[in-house]
Each structure stands twice: as structure tokens, then as C-alpha cells.
């Protein structure tokens, strides 16, 4: 069963529908629109889960429409995220294809140790594209050269 809200939004180009539809018996918020000429239904979230209420879902629908208007395809980005390898698989591939050929034995041992003790327990089941999300913003920190770092440490 589909309940449609806002069959046409003011200022929206073409056919845009914000709706609540039942999937597996539970209500989900969705946005029905056209992306590059193809009709697409973007699921926003399940009602009540993660505090998805009507107002928050409408704001997310407006955000998605802005991305679409700017030429992005949220549906394609979500599909690409689903096929991205998890970090544990990526680490195995890194060790086999790069580290074994390019690094010295002691460096390989150290990489395995760091992966085993710290990285994989914390981030191993995340998709590799999402593994950097916990540290977003930390990349904006100033970079120091080796000499500057030693100088800072001695202060």
C-alpha cells in the first residue's frame, strides 16, 4: 500500500512524489523522481528507526532533490557502496598484491600486527568506502614535516 504526500512540490521539476510505502509490513519513507530520464524510487528510511519521522524524512527528500538537481545520482552512489569490498577483504588484497612485493619482511610483519590488533577489530566489517567516516575532519589538520614533528615533540 502506498500513501502519497505532496504529488507535486512547489518548484520541483517534473514528477516528484514524497511517499510512505509499506515494505515487509513496515512503513518506509521514499522519494519517487526521475534521474537522467529514468524513474527512480529512493528509499529514505524506515519510520521510527533512527528517529525517521515525517519532518526529518521530508528534509532528507529535499536534500536528495538538491543532489539530483546538481547532477548527482544518489541511487548510483548507493549501489556503488553496496558492491565496495569490506575493509578486511581490502586488507588481504593489499597484503597479497602490494606489501608482499614492495615491502621488507619486517614491515610486512608490522603491517599484519597493526591490522590484526587495531584496524580489523575496529573497522574490519565496514565497507572500504566508509572506513574513513570515523575520522572525517581529522584530515583537515595541519601537516608537519619530519623535522617539524621532532621539534614539536621536544617542546
pLDDT digits (tens, 9 = 90+) for 52-83: 888 888 888 888 888 888 888 888 887 776 77
Sign of CA dihedral 67, 70, 71, 77: negative
pLDDT digits (tens, 9 = 90+) for 93-129: 889 999 988 999 999 999 999 888 988 888 777 766 5
Angstrom distance (rounded) from CA 129 to CA 116: 20
Residue 27 pLDDT more than 60? yes
Q: Residue ranges per domain, the chain?
A: 2-82, 84-133
Q: Which three cell numbers stand for residue 111?
A: 603491517
pTM > 0.85: no
Contacting residues for 129 by C-beta, under 8 A, at least 6 apart:
80, 81, 84
Q: Output the pLDDT for position 112.
A: 92
Sign of CA dihedral 108, 110, 115, 117: positive
Amino acid at each position: 500500500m502506498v500513501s502519497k504526500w505532496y504529488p507535486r512540490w512547489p518548484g520541483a521539476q517534473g514528477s516528484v512524489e514524497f511517499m510512505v510505502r509499506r515494505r515487509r509490513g513496515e512503513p518506509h519513507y521514499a522519494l519517487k523522481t526521475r534521474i537522467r530520464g529514468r524513474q527512480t524510487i529512493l528509499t529514505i528510511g524506515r519510520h521510527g528507526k533512527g528517529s525517521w519521522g515525517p519532518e526529518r524524512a521530508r528534509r532528507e527528500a529535499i536534500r536528495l532533490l538538491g543532489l539530483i538537481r546538481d547532477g548527482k545520482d544518489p541511487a548510483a552512489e548507493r549501489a556503488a557502496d553496496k558492491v565496495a569490498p569490506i575493509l578486511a577483504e581490502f586488507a588481504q588484497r593489499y597484503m597479497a598484491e602490494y606489501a608482499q612485493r614492495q615491502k621488507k619482511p619486517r614491515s610486512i610483519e608490522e603491517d599484519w600486527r597493526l591490522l590484526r590488533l587495531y584496524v580489523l577489530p575496529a573497522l574490519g566489517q565496514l565497507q572500504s568506502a566508509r572506513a574513513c567516516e570515523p575520522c572525517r575532519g581529522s584530515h583537515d589538520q595541519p601537516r608537519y614535516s619530519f623535522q617539524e614533528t621532532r621539534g614539536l615533540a621536544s617542546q
